[in-house]
């Protein structure tokens, strides 16, 4: 902990392995998903999202992304089914995005990226006592990835983009109650799933990834509001725009991708 990392020239993804050797490990994320290589497993059920209670607490800028945190003291907001043996509790969601065009997602599909990617991070509270403990266990986390493509305005993303001016600087945050992430889901929950890692240091190989096939549409104007955020704190003289905060695809190393249509 405490190592400095970022998305810049010297401290970006290609340098992370120096402080975090697991960056070159056997189950790193993200990956390029090649749909025709994904296997349909008959035992793989649909994913079920129970986000009926609005347990969001706050929104903040942690210097790497914008994060909405949830009350995870009970099972009110969980993901289950699909590849998961237990319900996993929603802890937070955050975004990755580019500076322009159709670059910005972490996962790619047949080599193509999307403008942004939303990650809903959940942890296994049946097997582990805390998020911290779960985040180092091979089945500790389940992250639901949703692609954002540019198109029409997204009706509900405004709830978030309208709050971004409050969290412009690294270290800033504000209350953000009653937000139900259900409104950010596409109509289909068909997905790809594989075993991977956190996509930022400490890059723990603890994530069961579930990536939805169907993207949601958001407007350029909405994405533009994310790009007004800063990687830097209020006290820093040099201001750096928060953009291109994504890690590129990592080697598959023999892993199998499964799908559910
Ligand atoms: C982003 O940097 C988030 O801001 C982090 O959230 C998150 O870390 C990190 O990405 C890695 O998560 O789904 N992309 S990812 O693999 O969830 C964690 C916070 O630091 C541990 C709160
Ligand atoms: Zn992420």
Convert the pLDDT of each residue in 107-127 to its tens digit: 999 999 999 999 999 999 999
Dihedral pair phi/psi, residue 222, rounded to 5°: -65, -45
Query: What ipTM is given for this predicted complex?
Result: 0.98
Catalytic residue list: 64
Chain center to CA of 186: 15
Q: What does each C-alpha distance from 6 to 11, 42, 65, 149, 257 come to in angstroms?
A: 5, 40, 11, 24, 29
* Ligand 1 binding pocket includes 245 (Cβ within 6 Å): no
Among the atoms of ligand 1, which is closest to the Cα of residue 64?
Answer: 2
Of 51-60, 181-190, 248-257, minimum mean pLDDT range: 51-60
- What per-residue confidence (pLDDT) applies to 2? 60
Residue 53 binned pLDDT confidence (cut-offs 50, 70, 90): confident
> Best of 64, 89, 123, 201 to mutate for ligand 1, by most ligand atoms within 8 A of CB?
64
46 DSSP 8-state letter: -
112 DSSP 8-state letter: B
> How remote is the CA of residue 123 from the centroid of ligand 1, in Å?
12
Residue 135: name the closest of 5, 256, 45, 22 by CA. 22
The protein residue with its alpha carbon nearest to ligand 1, atom 17, reads 121
List CB contacts of 41: < 8 A, sequence separation 6 or more: 258, 260
Predicted TM-score of the model (pTM)? 0.98
């Amino acid at each position: 902990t405490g190592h400095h990392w970022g998305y810049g020239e010297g401290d970006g993804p290609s340098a992370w392995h120096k402080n975090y050797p697991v960056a070159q490990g056997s189950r790193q994320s993200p990956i390029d998903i090649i749909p025709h290589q994904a296997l349909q497993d008959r035992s793989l059920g649909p994913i079920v999202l129970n986000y009926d209670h609005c347990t969001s607490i706050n929104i903040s800028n942690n210097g790497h992304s914008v994060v909405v945190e949830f009350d995870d003291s009970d099972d009110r907001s969980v993901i289950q089914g699909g590849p998961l043996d237990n319900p996993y509790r929603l802890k937070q969601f955050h975004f990755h995005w580019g500076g322009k065009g159709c670059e910005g997602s972490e996962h790619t599909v047949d080599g193509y990226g999307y403008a942004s990617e939303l990650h809903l991070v959940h942890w296994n509270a049946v097997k582990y006592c805390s998020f911290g403990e779960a985040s180092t266990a091979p089945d500790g986390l389940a992250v639901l990835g949703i692609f954002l493509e540019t198109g029409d305005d997204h009706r509900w993303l405004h709830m978030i983009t309208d709050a971004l001016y409050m969290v412009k600087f690294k270290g800033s945050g504000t209350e953000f109650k009653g937000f139900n992430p259900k409104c950010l889901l596409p109509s289909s929950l068909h997905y790809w799933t594989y075993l991977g890692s956190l996509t930022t240091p400490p890059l723990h190989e603890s994530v069961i990834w579930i990536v939805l096939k169907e993207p949601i549409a958001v407007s350029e104007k909405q994405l533009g509001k994310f790009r007004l955020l800063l990687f830097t704190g209020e006290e820093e003289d040099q201001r750096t725009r928060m953009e291109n905060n994504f890690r590129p695809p990592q080697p598959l190393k023999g892993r199998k991708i499964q799908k559910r249509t």
